[in-house]
Amino acid sequence: MNLKNVLIKITAIVAVIFTAVSCDDDFNSVGSEVIGDVNFEDDEYNAIPIAYSKRFEKVQTSGLPNNLLGVYDDPVYGQSVYSVVSEVLPSQFNPSFGDNAILDSVVLNLPYFSTLTESTTGDDGVVTNTFELDSVYGSNGIKLSIYHSDYFLRDFDFDQGAEERQVYYSDDINENFGPSLENRLLFTVDNFKPSPNQIRLLTEDDDTDEDDEPQLSTFIPALRLTLVSEDAAAAATELNPDNERTDNQDLIDYFKTLFLDKEGSIELSNTNNFRNYFRGLYFKAESNINTEDENLLFFDIADANFTLHYSFDTSEEDEDDADGDGDITEPIRGEGSFILNFSNNIVNSIDFNFANAILNDGITSIENALDNQDEVNGEANLFLKGGEGSYAVMDLFNGMVTNEDGELENELDFLKRQNWLINEASMKIYINQDEMVSGDTEPERIYVFNLETGEVLVDFLADPTSNQTSPILSVTNHLGRISRDSDENGEFYKIRLTRHVINVLNEDTDNVKLGLSVSQNVNVVASAEGVTPNNTEDELIPFSSIISHEGTILYGNTTNVPEEKRLKLDIFYTRSKSN
């Protein structure tokens, strides 16, 4: 390439850049005049949604991400009792228990959600960990009974052609499963209270040092219940006073017959045979104190296990008479464990009745209010209750408004032709403090979803905080946390629906009805099935609502609600002054 061509190209490039910069300056200058107060102005439009509540007679409680166990007394809605039945599966099939196997103990271990807050080492080298329990509500004791269940939890719904997964509901345990749930009582704790204390266990020496004394091991706080044989009970050292250790040879013999004596049997050979053989465990919670504050535990049963500890003869002889019985020819006993994990079908029961909850007029039950909802004009109160509870329906833009010509027009049609630039669309949904008992029993979060599909809205997906793993910190732009006054009483929740409203007005999204529920964890976005009164088809409700135990009462849209707290959708927009 010669010098002349190079100079021509350089000159052309400089000219293009100069022209672009000049145009940019001109554009910015013109744009500042257009966007300023001369041609555009900001304004606000208030849409009044039609809102009412629906209650569930039962909700799906199979497939929950977490489970609830215990008794909870909501200060407004009353008492809910949560029990659990679960299948168990062994960590291995076709186990070999060894020669002359003897069952020494059976241990149920159910860890709590907890946070390590402090760790100290004593002069003796013993480490003490201090924990704080998470997701435990209430401080009084409840009665907890644990049974070997003989109810078979099937995988598929044969009424649907054995192709659909069997759905279990919140009333199945109490209404449909029958007495086979309580096949054999294993444990009873008359005054169960979750303890934050660490679990301390003595285990065999690990041969890493010259000390042959048992080693102390510590674990996170858990419900740990132990059945021991008569021989094991005599030699046991109790290290966990917060948990139960029961000498019960009859139950030890019961489990020996169920498992150790079944070595090599078809019952222990594969998943299907085992599930039909042992079936599962039933955790039954009951209130044993007439109080307004019971004890409810939120936990992940998948972390729990049910373990049989046994001993067996080895090929070595006790030449040193380690057991002190004078016999140096007897076989040395080895130790083994058979672990059963909770898995597959796990069902929560929820025993709750809206009829027991009365509004502050002293007459109207919340159940009666929920069964007489005005779905055309809306309601003054919106009842949101987790578990086997209730949710609100919000119908946007389906009313009639007076347009520029003084004529009545469908609100959605009116808004579509305004050609506004929507800056924000949001709601402050106020709490009816006259009906609520404010404080830490109020739900921290509420949740909005597409009532037809159960899916979250586009604002959820676009929320810059949606990647937070903490449920408290996640999706706070779209689903604002509860706002409290100086006395820590809940005032309102603010939810932003900007992108959803823009899509509706641009006809990119159908104007579907929205559901509004409480949420224990907004990161749980899957939906479950629920049955409402006088409805032949199941409706959708978020799992995050079912695993919520709390409830609230919000203000609705009717004129008898104080105007400053009336439900409305505030649309902030920019428009041309020429329109």
Which pLDDT score, from 0 to 100, does residue 61 have? 97
Helix %, strand %, coil % for the chain, to 5?
20, 40, 40
- pTM for the structure as a whole: 0.88
The span from the CA of 86 to the CA of 342, in Å, is 6
CA 64 to chain centre: 7
The span from the CA of 58 to the CA of 176, in Å, is 13
The span from the CA of 479 to the CA of 266, in Å, is 53
With contact defined as beta carbons under 8 Å apart, do 148 and 183 qualify?
yes
The span from the CA of 248 to the CA of 269, in Å, is 28
Domain borders along the chain are: 44-58+356-576, 78-350
With contact defined as beta carbons under 8 Å apart, do 395 and 54 qualify?
no
Structure tokens at 267: 């019952």
Which regions in the chain score pLDDT beneath 50? 1-36
Q: 431 has which bridge partners?
A: 554
With contact defined as beta carbons under 8 Å apart, do 220 and 199 qualify?
yes
Query: By three-state DSSP, how is residue 341 classified?
Result: strand
The span from the CA of 165 to the CA of 168, in Å, is 10
The span from the CA of 360 to the CA of 167, in Å, is 37
Which pLDDT score, from 0 to 100, does residue 152 have? 96
Q: Is the dihedral of CA 296, 302, 303, 306 positive or negative?
A: positive
With contact defined as beta carbons under 8 Å apart, do 475 and 466 qualify?
yes
Alpha helical stretches, state H, 211-279: 230-235, 249-258, 271-277
3-state secondary structure string across 125-193: CCEEEEEEECCEECCCCEEEEEEEECCCCCCEEHHHCCCEECCCECCHHHHCCCHHHHCEEEEEEEEEC
Element (H, E) at 369: helix 366-370
Structure tokens at 270: 């594969």
Beta strands 445-450 and 569-576 are unpaired
What does the pLDDT look like over 300-331, one tens digit per residue? 888 899 999 999 998 776 555 555 555 566 67
Which pLDDT score, from 0 to 100, does residue 538 have? 87
Which pLDDT score, from 0 to 100, does residue 70 have? 96
Those residues whose C-beta lies under 8 Å from the C-beta of residue 495, and which sit 6 or more positions away, are 426, 427, 429, 446, 448, 478, 479, 480
Task: Encode 6-39: b = buried (16+ Cβ within 10 Å), e = exposed.
Answer: eeeeeeeeeeeeeeeeeeeeeeeeeeeeeeeeee
Which pLDDT score, from 0 to 100, does residue 527 have? 96
With contact defined as beta carbons under 8 Å apart, do 168 and 176 qualify?
no
Q: Is the dihedral of CA 527, 529, 532, 538 positive or negative?
A: positive
Phi/psi region, residue 486 (left: phi>0; alpha: psi -120 to 50; beta: rest), is alpha
Those residues whose C-beta lies under 8 Å from the C-beta of residue 293, and which sit 6 or more positions away, are 73, 138, 139, 140
